[in-house]
Chain A
Amino acid sequence: MAQPLVKKDDDRDDEAEYSPFLGIEKGAVLQEARVFNDPQLDARRCSQVITKLLYLLNQGDTFTKIEATEVFFAVTKLFQSRDLGLRRMVYLIIKELSPSSDEVIIVTSSLMKDMNSKTDMYRANAIRVLCRITDGTLLTQIERYLKQAIVDKNPVVASAALVSGIHLLQTNPEIVKRWSNEVQEAVQSRAPLVQFHALALLHQIRQNDRLAVSKLVTSLMRGTVRSPLAQCLLIRYTSQVIWESGNNTQSGDRPFYDFLESCLRHKSEMVIFEAARAITELNGVTSRELTPAITVLQLFLSSSKPVLRFAAVRTLNKVAMKHPMAITNCNIDMESLISDQNRSIATLAITTLLKTGNESSVDRLMKQITNFMSDIADEFKIVVVEAIRSLCLKFPLKYRSLMNFLSNILREEGGFDYKKAIVDSIVILIRDIPDAKESGLLHLCEFIEDCEFTYLSTQILHFLGVEGPKTSDPSKYIRYIYNRVHLENATVRASAVSTLAKFGAAVDELKPRIFVLLRRCVFDSDDEVRDRATLYQNTLGGDGSVVETDKDVKDFLFGSFDVPLVNLETSLKNYEPSEEPFDINAVPRESSAPVELTEAETEYAVNVVKHIFDKHVVFQYNCTNTIPEQLLEDVIVIVDASEAEEFSEVFSKPLRSLPYDSPRQTFVAFEKPEGLATVGKFSNILKFIVKEVDPSTGEAEEDSVEDEYQLEDLDVVAADYILKVGVSNFRNAWESLGDDFERVDEYGLGPRESLAEAVNAVINLLGMQPCEGTEVVPPNSRSHTCLLSGVYIGNIKVLVRLSFGLDGPKDVAMKLAVRSEDESVSDAIHEIVGSG
């Protein structure tokens, strides 16, 4: 059982506070370091001072450049001492100080001497220090010693050289690759970890050569592997070879599968686990191949060691996503893990069960989970809630017990994120399981009677307004909604009023009742609530009779904006009160993020925001003058649109005055063909007159000089015309768009930095909104699907499905499927990618 912590009683208090470093102070220690310069070195004393310096660094103290240099130089004197303990400390602190290349020269000869010393620990550590601080030229000087060290009889020395080689491969690959022969020899070493390090280095040297790696793997399988770590490496390299050889299903068994399977019987648990995991991650793995791996992982589930249980349950959890049937044998072991003391293990067990459970076990599972939920922290609960949601979508007939469960936990204690996760789940279930709608809506109604989070109440009220009217008996929700008008804060009350109005608009029979309720709301204490009540009274038809609602009113209440809200807000803020009413058509459809037209730290900093309208584009140039001695006036941008033939300049608004450090705007507007996604390249020159300013007085002189300043070109691209609008359920939206205007094509993207980089590049090129979190690429993935949505100019909905795959080590291939309401739009999307 747990040992008690060392108790602090009075006597021990003094002792417990004591630390050899109590009151330590950097300045004092740096002073102490002067003893390094003594002709008669006191090794013990010097070691202590180094320990203090290392303690300071470890605690987060930093040395200034000067301090670091001084300490370093002082430390170099310590090479004169023959004391072994001191020398070890010297190695440590040199590594921590990271000397610059001109400082390194001072110690190079001492370290090289140590590298050839008879004392093994000197050789090993000097190698590690040298390789840490070396540069290319020094490296070529010591190269032959390193090659000798790799095959040194002493395993510590050999490992030091090999591990240093692995690090140096990042910065000086051409040099390290010359050591292949020695490294190859070291792979045959009888010393276990030497073989491990040599194997790691050799693989890294050869990793771009598929054939070489394959040969390495096969020769080791026939030879002797001397450490569990090396065996794990071999398993990983084998998996790589299997992946690269593709699927050989016609020849029966997968190559090298037998080797992986045999590792499941290794004596080291580390190896068994590595092999089991590798098998579960095989591309297109079959149940037959999985079985032995799962058997072994199942045994780990009942181990007394938490690390084993955790590793096993985490792996099985991942398998359950694709092969739930393969895991069902483990269900009983999983169920006992629900009460595991380690809550990570318990949560993983539950979510695995939720994935593998069949319809008949759902009820029993829910009972077990109910007890479990009160025991775990919110972040685990959210994971469980999401797993329950998936389970319900898988077994829609079980919605009753699952919804009840969600509703119950909604009533219990919990933070905002947790409750939001539950509400989101209920909403999704209501949307996707028609039978669940009525009970789901009622659960939500009951929840808002007692909800402490305004955000959630308003969300639910909004949702009720959309879904409630579509049910068979909408009136039963009215009571819940109206109660909110009495009992809640202003924000919720206003939301409830809007919801009532929606019911009234959508269900004619309810109009009289709604009208009465709205009339009462007109006397609310809050402005917004009163305004809304009045507004809706008028729009619904003044006398509250049962009449059909005007189409305009329905659009007003239920429709959505076709301009981004951000732009609307900005335009409203800029609207100056005048005779002319605010014109919603004056709000740009789309505004880009600012694009820099000057490099950093130039005299005049200019960036541009592109505002897109149906018939125009407007460039807003944000200018900043960074020269205190200048005042610019009559600033204007001369735009050359010769490479943008379809655009014609119609208007330009100059900037009267641009003083120092005060960003201001000038505008140029172009006309373009209506409703089309016209592209073009524009070159820009900033033209202005300059007046000298006396910075001390701030007064400008009378004389002025005309001047120009070249800016970078700016492009209007197709992606500028796509509005980023997300969808919550991509599959439904995809299905409802239909494939009439679907276009599918494949593209090779060539060698890329990584899969994630390629995915991001395409997302940015298209300028569309990623959905359902598919912009995130899990690490080490070799394929990925990304879902994008947007609205094209002309109010055309577009959905894109991108499938990425790694075709070899670096090349990325992509399949693009687009659906929209217009054929030319689908074509346009492909063109963007084709030319991008």
Chain B
Amino acid sequence: MASNGMCPSVKNILLLDSEGKRVAVKYYSDDWPTNNAKLAFEKFVFSKTVKTNARTEAEVTLLENNIIIYKFVQDLHFFVTGGDDENELILASVLQGFFDAVTLLLRSNVDKREALENLDLILLCLDEIVDGGIILETNGALIAEKVTSSSLDADAPLSEQTLTQAWATARDHLTRTLLK
């Protein structure tokens, strides 16, 4: 993965359930080369944070030379990890962007079941936030927009549409353009 010493970089984004099991995760760093190493990290992070209250404000902790910003809602635990020399507020903005985008995409039903039912959206969402460790976008609404639309014109408010409806709208739009 890219290692630009001065560009802010994210090491991983994790979405775990209320028992610490994976819902969706994405790693951008070589710090955890095997799947076992990753699982061990997730277990460690989960156990160190599960007793804290991270539901109103995003919380932060320093574990093994990594900064972890995290937030909980219902039975989902959101985590963003960076190196210990990273700007904590930048990492917090990534977490906020992820959180807001997921809230929009799941139409405010932010729980594990809904997340799994719409896993495709969650994975696309992760794809649109960070690329190989480099931040692509931190604005939740824009991230969600990128996930569901094929163009960037924000005609219809996102919360009204399901994924297929959004694409159907875009398809219609394209058809109309071609027929002109």
Question: Does B associate with A?
Answer: yes
A contact residues vs B (CB 8 Å cutoff): 1-3, 5-6, 15-16, 18-21, 44, 47, 50-51, 54-55, 58-60, 62, 83-85, 88-89, 92, 95, 119-122, 128, 132, 154-156, 159-160, 163-164, 166-167, 169-170, 193, 197, 200, 203-204, 229, 232-233, 236-237, 240, 269-270, 273-274, 277, 304-308, 310-311, 314, 341-342, 344, 779-780
Partner of A233, one of B6, B38, B152: B6
Partner of A237, one of B6, B74, B116: B6
Q: Is the CB of A85 within 8 A of B167?
A: yes
Query: Which B residue's beta carbon lies closest to that of A311?
Result: B88
Residues of B within 8 A of A132 (CB): 132
User: In the assembly, what is the distance between CA of A216 and CA of B66, in Å?
Assistant: 31
Q: Is the CB of B18 within 8 A of A156?
A: no
Distance between A763 CB and nearest chain B CB, rounded to angstroms: 22
Query: Which A residue's beta carbon lies closest to that of B61?
Result: A344
- Pairs A-B, 6 closest by C-beta atoms: A270-B89, A311-B88, A60-B35, A51-B120, A200-B7, A310-B60
Q: Is B43 an interface residue (CB 8 A)?
A: no
Contact with A along B113-142 (1 / 0, CB 8 A): 100110110011001000110111110000
Q: Is the CB of B75 within 8 A of A311?
A: no
User: In the assembly, what is the distance between CA of A3 and CA of B174, in Å?
Assistant: 45
Residues of A within 8 A of B55 (CB): 2-3
Residues of B within 8 A of A159 (CB): 136-137
Distance between B26 CB and nearest chain A CB, rounded to angstroms: 8
Q: Is the CB of A92 within 8 A of B119?
A: no
Q: Is the CB of B61 within 8 A of A269?
A: no
Partner of B93, one of A169, A204, A270, A344: A270
Q: Is the CB of B88 within 8 A of A47?
A: no
Query: Which B residue's beta carbon lies closest to that of A192?
Result: B139
Given A163-B132, A200-B7, the answer on whether A170 and B2 have CB atoms closer than 8 Å is: yes
Q: Is the CB of A200 within 8 A of B152?
A: no
B contact residues vs A (CB 8 Å cutoff): 1-4, 6-8, 18, 22, 24-25, 35, 38-39, 52-53, 55-62, 69, 74-75, 83, 85, 87-90, 92-93, 111, 113, 116-117, 119-120, 123-124, 127, 131-132, 134-138, 146, 149-152, 163-164, 167, 170-171, 174
Query: Which B residue's beta carbon lies closest to that of A270?
Result: B89
Q: Is the CB of A166 within 8 A of B113?
A: no
Cross-chain pairs A/B with CB under 8 angstroms, 11 sampled: A6-B74, A51-B119, A85-B163, A92-B127, A167-B132, A169-B2, A193-B136, A204-B4, A229-B138, A306-B58, A780-B85
Distance between B93 CB and nearest chain A CB, rounded to angstroms: 6
Query: Which A residue's beta carbon lies closest to that of B34?
Result: A60
Residues of A within 8 A of B3 (CB): 170
Given A19-B116, A92-B123, A119-B174, the answer on whether A84 and B150 have CB atoms closer than 8 Å is: yes
Partner of A307, one of B52, B58, B146: B58
Residues of A within 8 A of B18 (CB): 5-6
Given A19-B113, A88-B124, A311-B88, the answer on whether A119 and B53 have CB atoms closer than 8 Å is: no
Residues of B within 8 A of A44 (CB): 164
Q: Is the CB of B90 within 8 A of A270?
A: yes
Distance between B5 CB and nearest chain A CB, rounded to angstroms: 8
Q: Is the CB of B164 within 8 A of A307?
A: no
User: In the assembly, what is the distance between CA of A16 and CA of B127, in Å?
Assistant: 27
User: In the assembly, what is the distance between CA of A240 and CA of B83, in Å?
Assistant: 19
Q: Is the CB of B137 within 8 A of A193?
A: yes
Q: Is the CB of B62 within 8 A of A344?
A: yes
User: In the assembly, what is the distance between CA of A62 and CA of B35, in Å?
Assistant: 10
Query: Which B residue's beta carbon lies closest to that of A268?
Result: B89
Residues of B within 8 A of A163 (CB): 131-132, 134, 136
Distance between A83 CB and nearest chain B CB, rounded to angstroms: 8
Q: Is the CB of B89 within 8 A of A119?
A: no
Given A119-B151, A232-B87, the answer on whether A200 and B134 have CB atoms closer than 8 Å is: yes
Q: Is the CB of B117 within 8 A of A306?
A: no
Q: Is the CB of B85 within 8 A of A203?
A: no
User: In the assembly, what is the distance between CA of A83 and CA of B170, in Å?
Assistant: 10
Q: Is the CB of B174 within 8 A of A166?
A: no
Residues of B within 8 A of A83 (CB): 167
User: In the assembly, what is the distance between CA of A229 and CA of B152, in Å?
Assistant: 22
User: In the assembly, what is the distance between CA of A277 and CA of B2, in Å?
Assistant: 24
Q: Is the CB of A305 within 8 A of B57?
A: yes
Residues of B within 8 A of A273 (CB): 87-89
Distance between B82 CB and nearest chain A CB, rounded to angstroms: 12
Given A200-B4, A307-B58, A310-B88, the answer on whether A6 and B120 have CB atoms closer than 8 Å is: no
Residues of B within 8 A of A344 (CB): 60-62
Query: Which B residue's beta carbon lies closest to that of A18?
Result: B113
Given A5-B74, A54-B119, A156-B152, the answer on whether A306 and B60 have CB atoms closer than 8 Å is: yes
Q: Is the CB of B87 within 8 A of A128?
A: no
User: In the assembly, what is the distance between CA of A3 and CA of B116, in Å?
Assistant: 22
User: In the assembly, what is the distance between CA of A47 and CA of B174, in Å?
Assistant: 21
Query: Which A residue's beta carbon lies closest to that of B18?
Result: A5
Q: Is the CB of B60 within 8 A of A307?
A: yes
Query: Which B residue's beta carbon lies closest to that of A21?
Result: B116
Partner of B167, one of A2, A84, A160, A197: A84
User: In the assembly, what is the distance between CA of A229 and CA of B130, in Å?
Assistant: 14
Distance between B70 CB and nearest chain A CB, rounded to angstroms: 10
Partner of B6, one of A85, A240, A304: A240
User: In the assembly, what is the distance between CA of A808 and CA of B170, in Å?
Assistant: 54
Q: Is the CB of B2 within 8 A of A167?
A: yes
User: In the assembly, what is the distance between CA of A6 and CA of B89, in Å?
Assistant: 30
Residues of A within 8 A of B92 (CB): 307
Query: Which A residue's beta carbon lies closest to that of B149?
Result: A121
Distance between A32 CB and nearest chain B CB, rounded to angstroms: 15
Residues of B within 8 A of A20 (CB): 116-117, 119
Distance between B62 CB and nearest chain A CB, rounded to angstroms: 6
Q: Is the CB of B150 within 8 A of A122?
A: yes
Q: Is the CB of A203 within 8 A of B6?
A: yes
Instruction: Give the residue among B61, B89, B146 with the most A Cβ atoms within 10 A.
Output: B89
User: In the assembly, what is the distance between CA of A132 and CA of B38, in Å?
Assistant: 22
Residues of B within 8 A of A5 (CB): 18, 74-75
Q: Is the CB of B124 within 8 A of A92?
A: yes
Distance between B58 CB and nearest chain A CB, rounded to angstroms: 6
Residues of A within 8 A of B146 (CB): 121, 156
Residues of B within 8 A of A237 (CB): 6
Q: Is the CB of B89 within 8 A of A269?
A: yes
Extra contacts, 14 of them, besides A193-B136, A270-B93, A310-B88 (Cβ < 8 A), are A6-B111, A19-B116, A51-B123, A84-B167, A85-B164, A120-B151, A197-B134, A203-B6, A270-B89, A307-B88, A311-B60, A344-B61, A344-B62, A780-B85
Q: Is the CB of B127 within 8 A of A233?
A: no
Residues of A within 8 A of B35 (CB): 60, 62
Q: Is the CB of A232 within 8 A of B8?
A: yes
Q: Is the CB of A59 within 8 A of B7?
A: no
Distance between A145 CB and nearest chain B CB, rounded to angstroms: 18
Partner of B7, one of A122, A193, A233: A233
Distance between A8 CB and nearest chain B CB, rounded to angstroms: 9
Q: Is the CB of B89 within 8 A of A306?
A: no
User: In the assembly, what is the distance between CA of A160 and CA of B130, in Å?
Assistant: 11
Q: Is the CB of A15 within 8 A of B124?
A: no
User: In the assembly, what is the distance between CA of A651 and CA of B115, in Å?
Assistant: 75
User: In the assembly, what is the distance between CA of A16 and CA of B138, in Å?
Assistant: 31
Distance between A500 CB and nearest chain B CB, rounded to angstroms: 44
User: In the assembly, what is the distance between CA of A779 and CA of B5, in Å?
Assistant: 11
User: In the assembly, what is the distance between CA of A163 and CA of B4, in Å?
Assistant: 11
Query: Which A residue's beta carbon lies closest to that of B3?
Result: A170
Instruction: Give the residue among A119, A155, A164, A307 with the most B Cβ atoms within 10 A.
Output: A307
Q: Is the CB of A306 within 8 A of B2?
A: no
Q: Is the CB of B6 within 8 A of A166?
A: no
Distance between B148 CB and nearest chain A CB, rounded to angstroms: 9
Residues of B within 8 A of A89 (CB): 120, 124
Q: Is the CB of A154 within 8 A of B75?
A: no
Q: Is the CB of B87 within 8 A of A6?
A: no
Partner of A60, one of B39, B127, B149: B39
Residues of A within 8 A of B61 (CB): 342, 344
Residues of A within 8 A of B152 (CB): 120, 154-156
User: In the assembly, what is the distance between CA of A159 and CA of B113, in Å?
Assistant: 33
